[in-house]
Amino acid sequence: MNTNRCFFGIACRIAAFSFLVAGSASLMQAQQSPSADSVFKTPLLLASGSTPFNLASTSSSSSSSSSSSDSVIASDGRFMLSSDTLSSSQPPPRRYGRPTYNGTNSNPDGSEKWTFLAGMMLDLPIGNTHKYQTPGYDFQFGGGRNFNKNVGVLLQFDYDHFGLQGATIANENYIYNYCTVAEAPVADCTPGPAPAGTATPIDGNNHVWSFTVDPTYTFATEGSTGAYLVVGTGFYHKVTNFTTPTTEQYCYFYCQEITANATFDHYTSNAIGVNGGVGATWKFNKFSNEKLYLEARYVLMLNSQRYGVTSANVATSSLAATDFYPANSNRTTFIPITFGLRF
């Protein structure tokens, strides 16, 4: 009885020791090799810009060759892409064009949709016009639409003022003083001295105002400078006034007499005209929309010629005619040179 109890006690101790050794070995093996679940939870090492891949498509043999396969398993259980896969998975470089702008006042190329201008400077009569008119001054106002940084169209108002040549004044003085009585032409003309007390000194001036449509093309821009071409057409109205000194009385607190030139006769002519020229611009800085401009144009008014009384035919013409300055209806040519501001 004591022998059996001793045998079974030894056997129990041997079994307990064997179970303990087996459990320790299993625990050590579990710590050395990761489970399948931990492998799939390990993050992938992907190069920047590469695309993910399907784990299910990775073969078991990929761990033995890293140069020819798409992916390998590192010794620590993490998945890595091979260099060939990384190079082939890079997306093509993105191409960038010109920047586009969205706004109510800007075109897609960044230029302003609307432009306005104001300027003034010098008028130079040329050709036959120079024979009876002298240089003067001009005013210019306008605005329009820019379709892009090169092409635009303007609607302009121009006022061009001229004087009259001394020969023109002398001829008109002869007609008005020697063949007519002040402001009332007589029925015939006998050249000679004016009747006593009827001769009066005269003067005169001329101006042209116009409304035109003027397409422009900017062909050069370099930093803050630019250059453009302009052409246009529109309606032109030409007026010549003849004046004589007149004394009038003005009363304001007290009365006084003032002598000033007053218009006693004038002539008008309407015509279609064309113009064309070149200009240059200077921005205040390369980011500014305001810029100075200087331009010169050639203007041609297509007047319809009328015939009337001149100093050359005054002795033989009937003074029943009312046109004593037919030169106002001559074709008119001049060059306005304008300096101003665009914005």
Structure tokens at 166: 């001394």
For the chain, count helices (H), then strands (E): 4, 12
Is the alpha carbon torsion for 58, 59, 63, 67 positive or negative? negative
How high is the pLDDT of residue 115? 94
How high is the pLDDT of residue 193? 55
Give residue 253's region: left, alpha or beta (phi > 0; psi -120 to 50).
left
231-282 per-position pLDDT tens digit: 999 999 999 999 988 877 777 777 877 878 889 889 999 999 999 999 999 9
How high is the pLDDT of residue 86? 52
Q: What are phi and psi of 62, to 5 degrees?
A: -65, -20
The closest of 163, 333, 178, 305 to 243, measured between CA atoms, is: 163
The CB-side HSE value for 215 (13 A sphere, CA atoms) comes to: 6
141-200 per-position pLDDT tens digit: 999 999 999 999 999 999 999 999 999 998 888 887 766 544 444 444 555 555 544 557
The end-to-end CA distance of the chain, in Å, is 123
Q: Which residue has the higher pLDDT, 45 or 323?
A: 323
221: helix, strand or coil: strand
Q: Where are the alpha helices (DSSP H) in 33-162?
A: 36-40, 83-88
Q: How far is CA 120 from the centre of its chain?
A: 21
- The full 3-state SS of 129-165, as one line of letters, equals HHHCEEEEEEEEEEEEEECCCCEEEEEEEEEEEEEEC
18-74 per-position pLDDT tens digit: 656 566 555 555 555 554 444 444 444 444 444 444 444 444 444 444 444 445 555
Distance CA 227, CA 293 (A): 9
The closest of 220, 342, 337 to 283, measured between CA atoms, is: 342
How high is the pLDDT of residue 89? 59
Structure tokens at 87: 């190079």
Structure tokens at 143: 């605005």
pTM above 0.75, yes or no: no
148-157 per-position pLDDT tens digit: 999 999 999 9
